[in-house]
Chains A and B, each alone.
Chain A
Amino acid sequence: MSFSLVAPTVINGLTMGAIYALVALGLTLVYGVLHIINFAHGSLLMLALYAVYFLHSQVGIDPYLAIPIVGPAFFVIGYVLQRGVIGRASHGREQTVLLVTLGLALIIDNLALYFWSADTRTLDLAYAFETIDLGVALVPVPRAIAFAAALLVAGLLWLVLDRTDLGKAIRAVAKERQGARLVGINVDHIHALCFGIGTATVAVAAAILLPAFYVTPQVGYTFVLVAFTTVVLGGMGSFAGALVGGLLLGVVEALGGLWFGESLGEIAIFGLFILVLLFRPTGLFGTKAA
């Protein structure tokens, strides 16, 4: 396979992988702290995509400028969902959380289908088709922005977790729930905060994703599997892992598509997912035992 064909494919895969990483960051935070798998993550992404879409089509706000609106709004949604529904309905059992979030996904996806129909919607933006010439390949501007944003958001999350008092409290809850409670940390509040931050992150991802993508009520399911794969690949709870995992997935998918054909490219993702789950469930960077 010639370099002139592989290089653009790898770059294309890297930019798609950055989007996967961006979507997976919130999921990995929620898993790392709450030790729960949020099945509704993709549905929340879909909801945020619609929010960004309607902010543009109805109010005329540019997707990137919508971040200060959808970010806080989805933080509140996430906080309320965790505190009001997930935490209460699951009786603190891991297996039940998965089912409760599945229930949420069913509700969100099908309400979206009811209100907004199954139509695929895309934004018509002037800059969506502009490209940056990298010499070996042309990269669309929205993809380049997504790549930078993934690095930025991962860095920000890491800063918050590693350098602030809030981050210290979050890490305490993640490591030792009972001990954290004993030293006066409100565990339920921290859990909800994390879920809120995770949901806000996915809303930011939606704003950055939409100029280069589309939205349908089913888009969440497409992404939820890829996001799980990214998180598992990188090691659950690791931001750097999610970043590298996402990029790796993007490249694997692109090369898989190049070598096995478009329809089988996706198989590379799930094949990798199954292999990692089976042979290295702690992920490539994870330290926690599964």
Chain B
Amino acid sequence: MVPTSPSAVVSNRVMTPHRLLAVLLVVTLLAVPFVVQSSFWLTFWTMTLLAAVLGQSWNILGGYGGQSSFGHAAFFGTGAYAAAILQVRFGVDARLAAIAAIGFGAIAGAAIGMLSFRYGLRGSYFALVTMAFAEVFRIIAVAWPLTGGGAGLNVPLHAGAATLQFVDRRGYYWAALALVAISIGLAAWLERSRFGAWLVALRENEAAAQALGINIFRVKLGAITLSAALAASAGVFYTQYFLYLDPGIAYGPGYSIEALLGPIIGGTGTVLGPLIGAISLHLLGRLATAATGGAPGLDLAFYGVLLIGILAFLPRGLTGLGAGVNWPSAWRRSRG
């Protein structure tokens, strides 16, 4: 890693449109609760922000650290279940349960990271093992009486700030926006901190990073723990919002995929990529659903098309648009 790479200089010059975009985003997101009147669109924006938090959590490990997880639901679900179980089965105060649940998520991340990284799993192997862990957690959640099994778990309705349940749905929106702000703050910190520099260095070249004296294992472990804690906070939010959980929602492939789609479409390893990706995805998915008359599944099929399109033409995501379109060589017809 050369400390003053030319790209750093260039990125200073192109910061202005990015800054403009950031200001636009902040203004839009702050305006939503005042402008939006229908509960449908408030839910839409709240869910979009939840996806942005989950996406940023994936981005910390997969984007900055280059360790693509295919099982982020393992952390999301652990946060969601821990919050629900602590409140329902043990009568723990909601605020305390939320903090503990984030801790449990972090522990799950550290445990999975400890095993995977200790044995040097990388690339596709790491992706597969995270997926397998999420699936193991799902099966446990089905079988364990504490989770309520396949029938799911209901959190009783007790509206109030102390129970983290808001009668005015705008409360949830503000909470989600706060989580987004925290997640973006974390990413911004990564870009400036020594830890973040280590993380990016090992993504670019693990052997070289190690040769420079970076403790690869500890940096990866730190990243997965941080990432898992953030994913767990999204899980806690889910529990408080819907007051219901089942193993398929918490640990199924849905949220694992949601976690990686946003950052890849918005731009991996960037501060705003996950948020921009989540907003674009949800808006386009909504459009696709509306255009087809609310058919189930079509928005997800559309996500798949978008994912392949982005990978093919914009490997750096939407935030990399300034760098130009990357035409696959075969489509340029330069080679047979």
Task: Say if the beta carbon of B35 comes within 8 Å of chain A.
Answer: no
Q: Does B31 contact A (CB under 8 A)?
A: no
Cβ of A104 and Cβ of B308 under 8 Å apart? yes
B interface with A by C-beta (< 8 Å): 68, 70, 115-116, 119, 121, 123-125, 127-129, 131-133, 135-136, 139-140, 142-143, 253, 257, 260, 264, 295-298, 300-301, 303-305, 307-309, 311-312, 315, 326, 328-331
Known A105-B304, A221-B253, A270-B132: A94·B124 in contact at CB below 8 Å = yes
Q: When the two chains form the complex, which single residue of B115, B297, B308 contacts A103, counting CB atoms closer than 8 Å? A: B308
Query: Using Cβ atoms and an 8 Å threshold, which residues of chain A touch B300?
Result: 106, 109-110
Nearest CB of chain B from residue A153's CB, rounded to whole Å: 24
Residue of chain A at shortest CB distance from B121: A277
B51 to chain A, nearest CB (A): 15
Residues B331 and A88 in contact, CB atoms below 8 Å apart: yes
Do residues B257 and A106 form an inter-chain contact, with CB atoms below 8 A?
Answer: yes
The reply to whether B143 and A278 form a contact with Cβ atoms under 8 Å apart is no
Interface positions, chain A 167-187, Cβ under 8 Å from B, are none
A85, A221, A277, A279: most-surrounded residue (chain B CB, <10 A): A277
Q: Given A98-B68, A106-B257, A270-B139, verify A279-B133 contact (CB < 8 Å).
A: no
Contact A225 B131 (CB under 8 A): yes
In the complex, number of A-B residue pairs with CB atoms less than 8 Å apart: 130
Do A37 and B312 have beta carbons less than 8 Å apart? no
- Contacts of A206-229 to chain B: CB distance below 8 A: 217, 221, 225, 228-229
Residue of A nearest to B298 (CB): A114
Complex alpha-carbon distance, A228 and B132, angstroms: 10
Is A91 engaged at the interface, CB distance under 8 Å to the other chain?
A: yes
Is B305 in contact with A107, judged by CB distance below 8 angstroms? yes
Among B124, B125, B329, residue most surrounded by chain A Cβ atoms (within 10 Å): B124
In angstroms, how far is the closest chain B Cβ from the Cβ of A254? 16
Q: How far is the CB of B43 from chain A (nearest CB, A)?
A: 21
A117 vs B303: C-alpha distance when bound (angstroms): 19
The one of A96, A266, A281 that contacts B121, using a Cβ cutoff of 8 Å: A281
* Contact partners of B123 in chain A: CB under 8 A: 94-95
In the complex, how many angstroms separate the beta carbon of B332 from the nearest chain A beta carbon? 10
- 24 A-B contact pairs sorted by A residue (CB < 8 Å): A37-B128, A85-B308, A88-B330, A89-B309, A89-B311, A91-B326, A91-B328, A99-B307, A99-B311, A100-B307, A100-B311, A102-B304, A107-B301, A109-B300, A110-B298, A110-B301, A221-B253, A267-B139, A267-B143, A270-B135, A273-B129, A274-B115, A274-B133, A278-B115
List the A side residues contacting B115 at CB < 8 Å: 274, 278
Provide the bound-state CA to CA distance between A99 and B304, in Å.
Answer: 10
Report the bound CA distance from A88 to B70 in whole Å: 22
A263 & B143 in contact (Cβ 8 Å cutoff): yes
Let me know if A155 is at the binding interface, CB within 8 A.
no
A-side contacts of B124, CB under 8 Å: 37, 94-95, 98
If A113-B297, A277-B132 touch, whether A96 touches B308 (CB-CB below 8 Å) is no
List chain B residues, Cβ under 8 A from A89. 308-309, 311-312, 328
Q: Answer whether residue A264 sits at the interface, using C-beta atoms and an 8 A cutoff.
A: yes
Judge whether A277 and B308 touch: CB under 8 Å: no
Structural contact, B131 and A103, CB atoms closer than 8 A: no
Chain B residue at minimum C-beta to C-beta distance from A267: B139
Distance (whole angstroms) from the CB of A154 to the closest CB of chain B: 23
Distance, CA A217 to CA B197, complexed state (A) = 43
Q: Could you tell me the distance between the alpha carbons of A277 and B315 in the complex, rounded to whole angstroms?
A: 29
Contact partner of A266 among B139, B304, B312, CB < 8 A? B139
- The answer to the question of A22 belonging to the interface, with a C-beta cut-off of 8 Å to chain B, is no
A88, chain B: closest CB distance, angstroms: 4
Q: Which residues of B contact A264 (CB under 8 A)?
A: 139, 143
B271 to chain A, nearest CB (A): 21
For A228, the chain B residues whose CB sits under 8 A away are 128
Q: Is the CB of A114 within 8 A of B296?
A: yes
B135 touches A232 (CB 8 A): no
A85 to B328, CA, bound (A): 10
Contacts A106-B303, A114-B298, A261-B143 given; does A277 touch B129 at CB 8 Å: yes
CB distance from B4 to the nearest CB of A (A): 27
Bound Cα distance A106, B262 (Å):
15
Nearest-neighbor residue (CB-CB) of B307 within chain A = A103
Chain B residue at minimal CB-CB distance from A85: B308
Complex Cα distance, B132 from A37, in Å, reads 15
Known A-B contacts: A89-B308, A94-B124, A106-B303. Give 12 more (CB < 8 A).
Answer: A37-B124, A37-B128, A103-B305, A104-B304, A107-B304, A110-B297, A110-B304, A114-B296, A114-B297, A228-B128, A277-B132, A281-B119
Q: How far is the CB of A289 from chain B (nearest CB, A)?
A: 11
